[in-house]
Structure 1
Protein backbone atom coordinates (compact mmCIF):
# COMPACT_ATOMS: atom_id res chain seq x y z
CA UNK A 1 0.00 0.00 0.00
CA UNK A 2 1.02 3.61 -0.51
CA UNK A 3 -0.15 6.88 0.99
CA UNK A 4 -2.08 7.57 -2.22
CA UNK A 5 -4.17 4.43 -1.81
CA UNK A 6 -5.11 4.52 1.85
CA UNK A 7 -8.59 3.14 1.31
CA UNK A 8 -8.72 -0.61 1.56
CA UNK A 9 -11.02 -3.38 0.46
CA UNK A 10 -12.36 -6.47 2.14
CA UNK A 11 -12.83 -9.91 0.70
CA UNK A 12 -16.42 -10.15 -0.49
CA UNK A 13 -17.05 -13.36 1.45
CA UNK A 14 -15.82 -12.02 4.81
CA UNK A 15 -17.16 -9.38 7.20
CA UNK A 16 -14.85 -6.40 7.68
CA UNK A 17 -13.74 -5.68 11.25
CA UNK A 18 -12.18 -2.33 12.20
CA UNK A 19 -9.81 -2.47 15.18
CA UNK A 20 -8.51 0.38 17.30
CA UNK A 21 -7.40 0.95 20.90
CA UNK A 22 -5.93 3.52 23.28
CA UNK A 23 -2.73 1.64 24.19
CA UNK A 24 -1.20 2.36 20.79
CA UNK A 25 -0.75 0.44 17.56
CA UNK A 26 2.13 -1.65 18.93
CA UNK A 27 0.21 -2.83 22.02
CA UNK A 28 0.22 -6.62 22.55
CA UNK A 29 -3.51 -6.69 23.27
CA UNK A 30 -4.32 -5.24 19.87
CA UNK A 31 -1.98 -7.67 18.14
CA UNK A 32 -3.52 -10.67 19.92
CA UNK A 33 -7.02 -9.52 19.00
CA UNK A 34 -6.08 -9.00 15.35
CA UNK A 35 -4.40 -12.40 15.16
CA UNK A 36 -7.51 -14.17 16.47
CA UNK A 37 -10.01 -12.28 14.33
CA UNK A 38 -8.00 -12.78 11.13
CA UNK A 39 -8.81 -16.48 11.36
CA UNK A 40 -12.37 -15.68 10.23
CA UNK A 41 -12.60 -12.05 9.16
CA UNK A 42 -11.00 -9.31 7.14
CA UNK A 43 -9.33 -7.05 9.71
CA UNK A 44 -8.15 -3.46 9.38
CA UNK A 45 -6.30 -1.61 12.13
CA UNK A 46 -6.40 2.15 12.65
CA UNK A 47 -4.87 2.98 16.03
CA UNK A 48 -2.96 5.77 17.79
CA UNK A 49 0.76 5.91 17.09
CA UNK A 50 1.41 6.28 20.85
CA UNK A 51 -0.40 5.43 24.07
CA UNK A 52 -3.57 7.47 24.65
CA UNK A 53 -4.82 5.99 27.91
CA UNK A 54 -7.44 8.03 29.80
CA UNK A 55 -7.90 10.64 27.07
CA UNK A 56 -11.63 9.93 27.04
CA UNK A 57 -13.48 11.16 23.96
CA UNK A 58 -10.96 13.88 23.13
CA UNK A 59 -10.49 15.01 19.52
CA UNK A 60 -7.47 16.66 17.91
CA UNK A 61 -8.53 20.07 16.60
CA UNK A 62 -5.47 22.32 16.94
CA UNK A 63 -3.03 20.35 14.81
CA UNK A 64 -3.17 18.06 11.77
CA UNK A 65 -3.68 14.32 11.97
CA UNK A 66 -0.86 12.41 10.35
CA UNK A 67 -1.16 8.81 9.18
CA UNK A 68 1.69 6.32 8.89
CA UNK A 69 1.53 2.83 7.46
CA UNK A 70 2.94 0.23 9.84
CA UNK A 71 4.45 -3.11 8.88
CA UNK A 72 5.30 -6.07 11.09
CA UNK A 73 7.56 -8.93 10.06
CA UNK A 74 7.63 -7.52 6.54
CA UNK A 75 3.83 -7.48 6.17
CA UNK A 76 1.40 -4.58 6.20
CA UNK A 77 -0.17 -4.26 9.67
CA UNK A 78 -2.24 -1.09 9.94
CA UNK A 79 -2.47 2.69 10.07
CA UNK A 80 -0.89 4.64 12.94
CA UNK A 81 -2.58 7.99 13.58
CA UNK A 82 -1.09 10.94 15.46
CA UNK A 83 -4.27 11.43 17.46
CA UNK A 84 -6.73 10.00 19.96
CA UNK A 85 -8.83 6.83 19.73
CA UNK A 86 -11.88 8.89 18.73
CA UNK A 87 -9.78 10.57 16.03
CA UNK A 88 -8.81 7.13 14.74
CA UNK A 89 -12.43 6.01 14.42
CA UNK A 90 -13.55 9.18 12.67
CA UNK A 91 -10.62 9.15 10.26
CA UNK A 92 -10.98 5.44 9.56
CA UNK A 93 -14.67 5.65 8.73
CA UNK A 94 -14.43 8.85 6.68
CA UNK A 95 -11.11 8.42 4.88
CA UNK A 96 -9.16 5.22 5.42
CA UNK A 97 -11.48 2.22 5.35
CA UNK A 98 -13.81 1.34 2.50
CA UNK A 99 -16.40 -0.07 2.38
CA UNK A 100 -17.98 0.72 5.76
CA UNK A 101 -16.94 -1.93 8.32
CA UNK A 102 -19.40 -4.41 9.79
CA UNK A 103 -18.14 -4.08 13.37
CA UNK A 104 -15.70 -1.92 15.33
CA UNK A 105 -13.74 -3.41 18.23
CA UNK A 106 -11.60 -1.30 20.56
CA UNK A 107 -8.99 -3.18 22.59
CA UNK A 108 -7.79 -5.40 24.05
CA UNK A 109 -7.09 -2.77 26.68
CA UNK A 110 -4.52 -3.33 29.39
CA UNK A 111 -6.53 -2.72 32.57
CA UNK A 112 -10.27 -2.89 33.34
CA UNK A 113 -12.80 -0.30 32.22
CA UNK A 114 -15.55 -0.57 34.81
CA UNK A 115 -17.64 1.78 36.94
CA UNK A 116 -17.43 5.51 36.33
CA UNK A 117 -13.90 5.07 34.99
CA UNK A 118 -15.43 4.41 31.56
CA UNK A 119 -15.83 8.20 31.28
CA UNK A 120 -12.04 8.58 31.12
CA UNK A 121 -11.42 5.57 28.90
CA UNK A 122 -10.11 6.10 25.40
CA UNK A 123 -10.90 2.44 24.72
CA UNK A 124 -14.58 2.82 25.59
CA UNK A 125 -14.81 6.21 23.89
CA UNK A 126 -13.61 4.72 20.61
CA UNK A 127 -16.48 2.22 20.76
CA UNK A 128 -18.87 5.02 21.68
CA UNK A 129 -17.69 6.99 18.65
CA UNK A 130 -18.37 3.97 16.48
CA UNK A 131 -21.90 3.71 17.87
CA UNK A 132 -22.44 7.42 17.24
CA UNK A 133 -21.54 6.82 13.60
CA UNK A 134 -24.00 3.95 13.24
CA UNK A 135 -21.55 1.07 13.63
CA UNK A 136 -22.02 -1.94 15.92
CA UNK A 137 -19.14 -1.45 18.36
CA UNK A 138 -17.61 -2.98 21.46
CA UNK A 139 -14.74 -2.21 23.81
CA UNK A 140 -12.72 -5.10 25.24
CA UNK A 141 -10.49 -4.82 28.32
CA UNK A 142 -8.60 -7.28 30.51
CA UNK A 143 -8.52 -7.04 34.30
CA UNK A 144 -4.75 -6.58 34.62
CA UNK A 145 -2.31 -3.74 34.13
CA UNK A 146 0.58 -6.09 33.40
CA UNK A 147 -0.13 -9.36 31.59
CA UNK A 148 0.66 -11.32 28.45
CA UNK A 149 -2.47 -13.45 28.71
CA UNK A 150 -4.58 -12.00 25.90
CA UNK A 151 -5.57 -15.17 24.04
CA UNK A 152 -8.65 -15.85 26.17
CA UNK A 153 -9.95 -12.31 25.84
CA UNK A 154 -9.33 -12.46 22.09
CA UNK A 155 -11.30 -15.72 21.82
CA UNK A 156 -14.19 -14.21 23.76
CA UNK A 157 -14.14 -11.10 21.56
CA UNK A 158 -14.20 -13.29 18.46
CA UNK A 159 -17.18 -15.29 19.74
CA UNK A 160 -19.04 -12.08 20.59
CA UNK A 161 -18.27 -10.78 17.11
CA UNK A 162 -19.95 -13.86 15.62
CA UNK A 163 -23.10 -13.12 17.62
CA UNK A 164 -23.13 -9.39 16.98
CA UNK A 165 -22.90 -9.99 13.24
CA UNK A 166 -26.08 -12.06 13.53
CA UNK A 167 -27.85 -9.72 15.97
CA UNK A 168 -26.45 -6.18 15.94
CA UNK A 169 -26.76 -3.86 18.92
CA UNK A 170 -29.56 -1.28 19.02
CA UNK A 171 -28.75 2.11 17.45
CA UNK A 172 -26.61 4.28 19.71
CA UNK A 173 -25.58 1.41 21.97
CA UNK A 174 -22.09 -0.06 22.32
CA UNK A 175 -20.93 -3.03 24.38
CA UNK A 176 -18.36 -2.69 27.16
CA UNK A 177 -16.64 -6.05 27.70
CA UNK A 178 -14.29 -6.80 30.61
CA UNK A 179 -12.43 -10.10 30.89
CA UNK A 180 -10.69 -11.55 33.98
CA UNK A 181 -6.95 -12.12 33.72
CA UNK A 182 -7.44 -15.88 33.97
CA UNK A 183 -7.11 -18.93 31.73
CA UNK A 184 -10.37 -19.64 29.90
CA UNK A 185 -10.83 -22.79 31.97
CA UNK A 186 -10.92 -20.75 35.19
CA UNK A 187 -13.35 -18.05 34.06
CA UNK A 188 -16.65 -18.63 35.88
CA UNK A 189 -18.94 -17.48 33.09
CA UNK A 190 -20.35 -14.44 31.32
CA UNK A 191 -22.78 -11.97 32.86
CA UNK A 192 -24.74 -9.06 31.40
CA UNK A 193 -24.54 -6.45 34.15
CA UNK A 194 -25.05 -2.79 34.90
CA UNK A 195 -22.26 -0.28 35.21
CA UNK A 196 -21.33 0.34 38.82
CA UNK A 197 -20.10 3.44 40.62
CA UNK A 198 -16.58 2.15 41.23
CA UNK A 199 -13.77 4.64 40.70
CA UNK A 200 -10.07 4.88 41.41
CA UNK A 201 -9.13 6.76 44.56
CA UNK A 202 -7.28 9.93 43.75
CA UNK A 203 -3.65 10.20 44.80
CA UNK A 204 -0.93 12.60 43.70
CA UNK A 205 2.78 12.15 44.22
CA UNK A 206 4.44 15.47 44.96
CA UNK A 207 8.02 15.73 43.73
CA UNK A 208 10.73 18.32 43.19
CA UNK A 209 12.83 18.59 40.04
CA UNK A 210 16.58 19.42 39.98
CA UNK A 211 15.73 23.13 39.74
CA UNK A 212 13.61 22.98 42.91
CA UNK A 213 10.32 23.27 41.00
CA UNK A 214 7.44 21.26 42.43
CA UNK A 215 5.52 18.92 40.14
CA UNK A 216 2.94 16.15 40.57
CA UNK A 217 2.39 12.64 39.25
CA UNK A 218 -1.21 11.48 39.27
CA UNK A 219 -1.35 7.93 40.61
CA UNK A 220 -4.80 6.50 41.25
CA UNK A 221 -5.21 3.73 43.83
CA UNK A 222 -7.30 0.67 42.96
CA UNK A 223 -9.65 0.07 45.93
CA UNK A 224 -11.17 -3.34 46.77
CA UNK A 225 -14.68 -4.14 45.47
CA UNK A 226 -17.29 -2.53 47.72
CA UNK A 227 -20.24 -2.46 45.37
CA UNK A 228 -23.50 -4.30 44.98
CA UNK A 229 -22.98 -7.81 43.60
CA UNK A 230 -24.73 -7.08 40.29
CA UNK A 231 -22.22 -4.50 39.00
CA UNK A 232 -19.46 -4.80 36.41
CA UNK A 233 -16.64 -4.28 38.91
CA UNK A 234 -17.97 -6.78 41.46
CA UNK A 235 -18.59 -9.62 39.02
CA UNK A 236 -15.36 -9.03 37.12
CA UNK A 237 -13.49 -9.28 40.43
CA UNK A 238 -15.23 -12.61 41.09
CA UNK A 239 -13.93 -14.07 37.83
CA UNK A 240 -16.79 -13.41 35.40
CA UNK A 241 -16.65 -11.82 31.97
CA UNK A 242 -18.92 -8.78 32.16
CA UNK A 243 -20.95 -7.30 29.31
CA UNK A 244 -22.46 -3.85 29.83
CA UNK A 245 -24.51 -2.10 27.14
CA UNK A 246 -23.77 1.63 27.27
CA UNK A 247 -25.08 4.70 25.45
CA UNK A 248 -23.77 8.17 24.65
CA UNK A 249 -27.11 9.65 25.76
CA UNK A 250 -26.16 10.99 29.21
CA UNK A 251 -29.62 12.33 30.07
CA UNK A 252 -30.89 11.42 33.55
CA UNK A 253 -34.51 10.95 32.50
CA UNK A 254 -36.11 10.70 35.99
CA UNK A 255 -34.89 14.24 36.69
CA UNK A 256 -36.59 15.85 33.68
CA UNK A 257 -39.87 16.30 35.55
CA UNK A 258 -38.34 16.58 39.01
CA UNK A 259 -36.39 19.68 38.01
CA UNK A 260 -39.38 21.59 36.63
CA UNK A 261 -39.32 23.85 39.70
CA UNK A 262 -36.06 25.34 38.46
CA UNK A 263 -37.86 27.07 35.58
CA UNK A 264 -40.44 28.87 37.72
CA UNK A 265 -40.20 32.65 38.03
CA UNK A 266 -37.02 32.82 35.99
CA UNK A 267 -36.41 35.98 33.99
CA UNK A 268 -36.89 34.15 30.70
CA UNK A 269 -39.96 32.87 28.94
CA UNK A 270 -40.67 29.17 29.05
Structure 2
Protein backbone atom coordinates (compact mmCIF):
# COMPACT_ATOMS: atom_id res chain seq x y z
CA UNK A 1 0.00 0.00 0.00
CA UNK A 2 1.44 3.34 -1.07
CA UNK A 3 0.45 5.20 2.13
CA UNK A 4 2.07 2.62 4.38
CA UNK A 5 0.74 -0.34 6.34
CA UNK A 6 -2.60 -0.30 8.17
CA UNK A 7 -2.51 -1.03 11.89
CA UNK A 8 -5.12 -3.42 13.31
CA UNK A 9 -6.08 -1.88 16.65
CA UNK A 10 -9.36 -3.31 17.96
CA UNK A 11 -11.81 -6.22 17.83
CA UNK A 12 -13.73 -4.64 14.95
CA UNK A 13 -10.51 -4.44 12.91
CA UNK A 14 -9.59 -8.03 13.80
CA UNK A 15 -13.00 -9.43 12.83
CA UNK A 16 -13.12 -7.58 9.51
CA UNK A 17 -9.57 -8.69 8.71
CA UNK A 18 -10.08 -12.38 9.51
CA UNK A 19 -13.22 -12.49 7.36
CA UNK A 20 -11.21 -11.57 4.23
CA UNK A 21 -9.25 -14.82 4.11
CA UNK A 22 -9.71 -18.58 3.90
CA UNK A 23 -6.08 -19.55 4.52
CA UNK A 24 -3.45 -18.18 6.87
CA UNK A 25 0.26 -18.96 6.49
CA UNK A 26 1.97 -18.45 9.83
CA UNK A 27 5.63 -18.09 10.62
CA UNK A 28 6.47 -19.61 14.01
CA UNK A 29 9.34 -18.03 15.96
CA UNK A 30 8.39 -14.42 16.61
CA UNK A 31 4.70 -15.02 15.82
CA UNK A 32 3.66 -18.02 17.91
CA UNK A 33 6.56 -18.09 20.34
CA UNK A 34 9.80 -16.42 21.35
CA UNK A 35 12.43 -19.06 22.08
CA UNK A 36 10.74 -21.44 24.54
CA UNK A 37 7.93 -19.10 25.54
CA UNK A 38 4.50 -19.00 23.89
CA UNK A 39 3.26 -15.53 23.01
CA UNK A 40 0.11 -14.84 25.07
CA UNK A 41 -3.19 -15.60 23.34
CA UNK A 42 -1.71 -17.70 20.52
CA UNK A 43 -3.41 -21.03 21.37
CA UNK A 44 -6.80 -19.37 21.75
CA UNK A 45 -6.36 -17.40 18.50
CA UNK A 46 -5.51 -20.57 16.55
CA UNK A 47 -8.44 -22.43 18.10
CA UNK A 48 -10.83 -19.64 17.13
CA UNK A 49 -9.59 -19.51 13.54
CA UNK A 50 -10.04 -23.26 13.13
CA UNK A 51 -13.47 -23.11 14.77
CA UNK A 52 -14.72 -20.66 12.14
CA UNK A 53 -13.31 -22.79 9.30
CA UNK A 54 -10.01 -21.11 8.49
CA UNK A 55 -7.14 -23.22 7.14
CA UNK A 56 -3.86 -22.81 9.03
CA UNK A 57 -0.43 -23.68 7.64
CA UNK A 58 2.74 -23.13 9.64
CA UNK A 59 5.57 -21.97 7.38
CA UNK A 60 8.96 -21.77 9.07
CA UNK A 61 12.56 -21.30 7.98
CA UNK A 62 13.73 -23.35 10.95
CA UNK A 63 15.92 -26.24 9.80
CA UNK A 64 14.12 -28.86 11.90
CA UNK A 65 12.21 -31.66 10.19
CA UNK A 66 8.41 -31.75 10.36
CA UNK A 67 8.72 -34.19 13.24
CA UNK A 68 11.14 -31.88 15.02
CA UNK A 69 8.80 -28.94 14.50
CA UNK A 70 5.89 -30.93 15.88
CA UNK A 71 7.87 -31.75 19.00
CA UNK A 72 8.27 -28.01 19.56
CA UNK A 73 4.54 -27.44 19.06
CA UNK A 74 3.73 -30.24 21.49
CA UNK A 75 6.16 -28.89 24.08
CA UNK A 76 4.50 -25.48 23.92
CA UNK A 77 0.98 -26.95 23.84
CA UNK A 78 0.17 -25.58 20.38
CA UNK A 79 -2.00 -27.82 18.23
CA UNK A 80 -0.48 -28.85 14.87
CA UNK A 81 -0.60 -31.83 12.51
CA UNK A 82 2.18 -33.42 10.49
CA UNK A 83 0.14 -34.32 7.41
CA UNK A 84 -0.42 -30.88 5.98
CA UNK A 85 0.13 -28.14 8.54
CA UNK A 86 3.88 -27.67 8.91
CA UNK A 87 6.10 -26.60 6.03
CA UNK A 88 9.83 -26.33 6.70
CA UNK A 89 12.91 -25.72 4.52
CA UNK A 90 13.88 -29.42 4.61
CA UNK A 91 10.52 -30.44 3.13
CA UNK A 92 11.66 -32.33 0.03
CA UNK A 93 15.42 -32.68 -0.01
CA UNK A 94 15.29 -36.31 -1.11
CA UNK A 95 14.06 -35.12 -4.51
CA UNK A 96 16.86 -32.57 -4.83
CA UNK A 97 19.82 -34.88 -4.30
CA UNK A 98 18.99 -38.52 -5.19
CA UNK A 99 22.67 -39.58 -5.50
CA UNK A 100 23.43 -42.38 -2.99
CA UNK A 101 26.88 -40.82 -2.44
CA UNK A 102 27.39 -37.33 -1.00
CA UNK A 103 25.38 -35.35 -3.51
CA UNK A 104 24.61 -32.21 -1.54
CA UNK A 105 25.83 -29.97 1.25
CA UNK A 106 22.88 -28.58 3.18
CA UNK A 107 23.53 -25.40 5.12
CA UNK A 108 21.10 -24.91 8.00
CA UNK A 109 21.23 -23.45 11.48
CA UNK A 110 23.88 -25.24 13.55
CA UNK A 111 24.87 -24.03 17.01
CA UNK A 112 27.89 -26.35 16.87
CA UNK A 113 29.21 -25.11 13.51
CA UNK A 114 33.01 -24.98 13.49
CA UNK A 115 36.12 -24.92 11.30
CA UNK A 116 36.08 -28.70 10.85
CA UNK A 117 32.52 -28.69 9.49
CA UNK A 118 33.35 -25.78 7.18
CA UNK A 119 36.37 -27.66 5.83
CA UNK A 120 34.29 -30.79 5.27
CA UNK A 121 31.66 -28.82 3.35
CA UNK A 122 34.34 -27.24 1.15
CA UNK A 123 35.87 -30.64 0.47
CA UNK A 124 32.59 -32.08 -0.84
CA UNK A 125 31.67 -29.00 -2.87
CA UNK A 126 35.09 -28.35 -4.42
CA UNK A 127 36.00 -31.95 -5.29
CA UNK A 128 32.65 -32.87 -6.81
CA UNK A 129 31.33 -30.31 -9.34
CA UNK A 130 27.95 -32.06 -9.24
CA UNK A 131 27.60 -31.65 -5.48
CA UNK A 132 24.69 -29.28 -4.78
CA UNK A 133 25.10 -26.38 -2.37
CA UNK A 134 21.74 -25.94 -0.59
CA UNK A 135 20.91 -23.19 1.90
CA UNK A 136 17.73 -23.28 3.93
CA UNK A 137 17.71 -19.47 4.21
CA UNK A 138 20.00 -16.45 4.09
CA UNK A 139 18.65 -14.96 7.32
CA UNK A 140 21.59 -13.37 9.11
CA UNK A 141 20.08 -13.41 12.57
CA UNK A 142 17.17 -14.55 14.66
CA UNK A 143 15.76 -13.67 18.04
CA UNK A 144 14.94 -16.40 20.53
CA UNK A 145 14.93 -15.97 24.28
CA UNK A 146 17.34 -13.04 23.95
CA UNK A 147 16.63 -9.34 23.61
CA UNK A 148 19.38 -9.13 21.01
CA UNK A 149 19.98 -10.84 17.63
CA UNK A 150 21.78 -14.18 17.52
CA UNK A 151 23.44 -15.66 14.38
CA UNK A 152 21.15 -17.57 12.03
CA UNK A 153 21.93 -19.99 9.21
CA UNK A 154 22.70 -17.17 6.76
CA UNK A 155 25.95 -16.51 8.61
CA UNK A 156 26.98 -20.13 8.05
CA UNK A 157 25.98 -19.98 4.38
CA UNK A 158 28.09 -16.85 3.89
CA UNK A 159 31.15 -18.49 5.46
CA UNK A 160 30.89 -21.35 2.95
CA UNK A 161 30.13 -18.89 0.15
CA UNK A 162 33.22 -16.81 0.97
CA UNK A 163 35.56 -19.80 1.18
CA UNK A 164 34.14 -21.49 -1.90
CA UNK A 165 33.51 -18.40 -4.05
CA UNK A 166 30.18 -19.85 -5.12
CA UNK A 167 26.62 -18.93 -4.26
CA UNK A 168 24.11 -21.59 -3.13
CA UNK A 169 22.52 -23.55 -5.95
CA UNK A 170 19.20 -23.62 -4.13
CA UNK A 171 17.74 -21.52 -1.32
CA UNK A 172 14.63 -23.31 -0.12
CA UNK A 173 13.21 -21.22 2.72
CA UNK A 174 11.12 -18.06 2.60
CA UNK A 175 10.95 -15.90 0.53
CA UNK A 176 12.10 -18.32 -2.19
CA UNK A 177 10.05 -20.37 -4.67
CA UNK A 178 10.69 -23.92 -3.35
CA UNK A 179 8.76 -23.13 -0.17
CA UNK A 180 5.83 -21.89 -2.23
CA UNK A 181 5.87 -25.06 -4.34
CA UNK A 182 5.40 -27.08 -1.17
CA UNK A 183 2.52 -24.93 0.04
CA UNK A 184 0.68 -25.24 -3.29
CA UNK A 185 0.74 -29.03 -2.87
CA UNK A 186 -1.25 -28.60 0.35
CA UNK A 187 -3.89 -26.21 -0.99
CA UNK A 188 -6.60 -27.88 -3.08
CA UNK A 189 -8.11 -24.56 -4.12
CA UNK A 190 -5.58 -21.79 -4.61
CA UNK A 191 -6.75 -18.17 -4.58
CA UNK A 192 -3.96 -15.77 -3.64
CA UNK A 193 -6.47 -13.06 -2.76
CA UNK A 194 -7.89 -15.27 0.00
CA UNK A 195 -4.49 -16.10 1.54
CA UNK A 196 -2.71 -14.09 4.22
CA UNK A 197 0.95 -14.45 5.19
CA UNK A 198 1.63 -13.61 8.85
CA UNK A 199 5.18 -13.13 10.09
CA UNK A 200 7.56 -11.00 12.13
CA UNK A 201 10.30 -10.46 9.52
CA UNK A 202 10.19 -8.15 6.53
CA UNK A 203 12.94 -9.77 4.44
CA UNK A 204 11.54 -13.31 4.65
CA UNK A 205 7.90 -13.46 5.76
CA UNK A 206 6.57 -10.24 4.25
CA UNK A 207 8.73 -10.57 1.12
CA UNK A 208 7.45 -14.14 0.68
CA UNK A 209 3.87 -12.88 0.78
CA UNK A 210 4.64 -10.07 -1.67
CA UNK A 211 6.39 -12.46 -4.07
CA UNK A 212 3.30 -14.67 -4.24
CA UNK A 213 0.56 -12.05 -4.30
CA UNK A 214 -0.68 -12.66 -0.74
CA UNK A 215 -1.91 -10.06 1.70
CA UNK A 216 0.73 -9.62 4.40
CA UNK A 217 0.37 -9.05 8.14
CA UNK A 218 3.39 -8.19 10.28
CA UNK A 219 3.41 -8.99 13.99
CA UNK A 220 5.49 -6.86 16.35
CA UNK A 221 6.45 -9.73 18.67
CA UNK A 222 9.66 -10.67 16.85
CA UNK A 223 12.42 -9.03 14.83
CA UNK A 224 10.67 -5.92 13.47
CA UNK A 225 9.52 -3.12 15.76
CA UNK A 226 6.84 -0.52 15.09
CA UNK A 227 9.54 2.15 15.00
CA UNK A 228 11.45 0.17 12.36
CA UNK A 229 8.31 -0.02 10.27
CA UNK A 230 7.11 3.56 10.52
CA UNK A 231 10.38 5.43 10.09
CA UNK A 232 11.78 3.01 7.51
CA UNK A 233 14.72 2.25 9.80
CA UNK A 234 14.28 -1.42 8.98
CA UNK A 235 16.84 -3.93 10.22
CA UNK A 236 16.44 -6.71 7.67
CA UNK A 237 19.84 -8.19 8.34
CA UNK A 238 20.86 -7.14 11.84
CA UNK A 239 20.42 -4.43 14.43
CA UNK A 240 24.13 -3.77 14.03
CA UNK A 241 24.61 -1.19 11.25
CA UNK A 242 28.20 -2.24 10.62
CA UNK A 243 27.19 -5.88 10.27
CA UNK A 244 24.37 -4.98 7.88
CA UNK A 245 26.81 -3.11 5.63
CA UNK A 246 29.27 -6.00 5.66
CA UNK A 247 26.59 -8.58 4.89
CA UNK A 248 25.18 -6.42 2.08
CA UNK A 249 28.67 -6.06 0.59
CA UNK A 250 29.18 -9.82 0.61
CA UNK A 251 25.84 -10.36 -1.09
CA UNK A 252 26.60 -7.69 -3.69
CA UNK A 253 29.98 -9.13 -4.60
CA UNK A 254 29.27 -12.85 -4.51
CA UNK A 255 25.57 -13.53 -4.93
CA UNK A 256 24.37 -10.80 -7.25
CA UNK A 257 21.80 -13.09 -8.85
CA UNK A 258 19.91 -13.50 -5.57
CA UNK A 259 17.14 -10.90 -5.22
CA UNK A 260 17.94 -8.47 -2.40
CA UNK A 261 15.15 -5.89 -2.17
CA UNK A 262 15.86 -2.50 -0.66
CA UNK A 263 14.85 -2.63 3.01
CA UNK A 264 12.53 0.34 2.65
CA UNK A 265 10.71 -1.37 -0.23
CA UNK A 266 9.50 -4.24 1.96
CA UNK A 267 6.27 -2.96 3.45
CA UNK A 268 3.44 -5.16 4.77
CA UNK A 269 -0.21 -4.46 4.02
CA UNK A 270 -1.15 -4.60 7.70
CA UNK A 271 0.50 -4.89 11.09
CA UNK A 272 -0.64 -5.88 14.58
CA UNK A 273 0.93 -5.83 18.03
CA UNK A 274 0.62 -9.62 18.38
CA UNK A 275 -1.05 -12.58 16.67
CA UNK A 276 -2.46 -13.36 20.12
CA UNK A 277 -4.72 -10.30 19.76
CA UNK A 278 -7.03 -12.40 17.57
CA UNK A 279 -7.88 -14.46 20.67
CA UNK A 280 -10.12 -11.56 21.74
CA UNK A 281 -12.55 -12.53 18.96
CA UNK A 282 -13.35 -15.73 20.86
CA UNK A 283 -14.60 -13.68 23.81
CA UNK A 284 -17.26 -11.74 21.94
Q: Tell me the TM-score normalized by structure 1.
A: 0.30
Q: Tell me the TM-score normalized by structure 2.
A: 0.29
**Larger RCO of the pair (alpha carbons < 8 Å, separation 6+):** 2
> Is the radius of gyration larger for structure 1 or structure 2?
1
